[in-house]
Amino acid sequence: MAKKYPLTPEGVKAKQDELYKLGDRELQVQAVAISKDSTAWLTENFELSSEQLDYVKQLPEGFNLPLGWQIATVVIGRQPFEFAPIPENTEKAANSRKKTEVTVGGSTTINPATGQTTYTVSGGIKWSW
């Protein structure tokens, strides 16, 4: 089982540091897990209060797949990522316009002569409420 980190800027940075110490193959395995089910990956890798867990589980299922792929893209490129904290008391935020924003941009190129692959990725993931 993965070490769980608090869902705080410091905890996310610690998880990022852990991921980016992995070799390429191991990092790819993690990225595939993230891409398949971002909600499961979040709950397996971060300590969430019951309110935070409810909030994550209420994200639309149709959003889980693209969110996972976008997080995985950032991870594969070994780029920095952050999650804005989910409020401890989501009831207070229930009447507001909660949303999740994800931005990813980049490219993948391969040199056919050498076989060298270059990943250029930039991205950000942010929960807003």
Mean pLDDT, rounded, for 82-90 = 60
Please list the residues that pair with 127 across neighbouring strands.
Answer: 100
Which pLDDT score, from 0 to 100, does residue 65 have?
A: 81
Is there a contact between 20 and 78 (Cβ–Cβ < 8 Å)? yes
Flag whether pLDDT at 24 surpasses 70. Answer: yes
Q: What three-state secondary structure class fits 66?
A: helix
Query: Please, which pLDDT band fits residue 45 given cuts at 50, 70 and 90?
Result: very high
Q: Give the C-alpha separation, 110 to 30, whole Å.
A: 22
- Picking from 46, 38, 22, 116, the residue whose alpha carbon sits closest to that of residue 73 is 38
Widest CA span in the chain: 57
pLDDT digits (tens, 9 = 90+) for 90-115: 555 444 445 555 555 666 666 777 87
What is the reported pTM? 0.66
